[in-house]
Amino acid sequence: MLNLNLKSKFKKIIPASMAFAALLTVAPLSSFAAETDAPVKNNVVNFPQTNYNVTDLNQNPVVALDEDGDVSAQGWKKSAVVWGLKNGGDALQTLTKWLGAGTKEAKYLNKHAKSIANALDRFESHIEQNLIDFMIFECGIPGGSARVIASAITGLVL
């Protein structure tokens, strides 16, 4: 009977002591958010004025499209060559045929195709990073805009 009473007391004491310990860890946090007697400054915030001029939505300007027929690769050539070098395929075969299928250059290309493809990717990232740094530090263009411009340029050129 004594053993049963002791177990029931422990069942009540352990959760009570854990709740008390949890409250002790939270109690000091109220002093952190205590109110102070600091004077309130009256800061005036000027909001920008809104222009309520309404334009007619049916007056769309006419946009003329260039129809000269010029199409550019926009960075797809390099991506195709890199993919071909890494995975084999038509791009690698085209390069080896252009070099001459049995030449030593074609053999070197086949042997080192993956490392050459990785180097092309690294060169592009270095060119893009140097272009970003130039636009930020020399031209004063903000970082986000410089990254977008550099990405567009390397996408068109490489």
As a whole number, mean pLDDT of residues 42-50 equals 66
Tens digits of residue pLDDT in 96-155: 777 776 777 778 877 888 888 888 788 877 888 888 898 899 888 898 888 888 887 777
Which band of pLDDT confidence, cut at 50, 70 and 90, is reported for residue 83?
confident
Amino acid, res. 65: L
CA 38 – CA 142 distance, rounded (Å): 38
Cβ neighbours of 132 (radius 10 Å): 20
Length of the chain: 158
CA 20 – CA 26 distance, rounded (Å): 10
CA 107 – CA 112 distance, rounded (Å): 9
pTM score: 0.41
Question: 83 CB contacts (<8 Å, ≥6 apart)?
Answer: 89, 91, 117
Tens digits of residue pLDDT in 56-82: 555 555 555 555 555 555 566 667 767
CA 16 – CA 133 distance, rounded (Å): 61
Mean pLDDT rounded to a whole number for the chain: 71
Q: Return the C-alpha torsion angle 102, 106, 111, 117, nearest 10.
A: -160
CA 94 – CA 102 distance, rounded (Å): 13
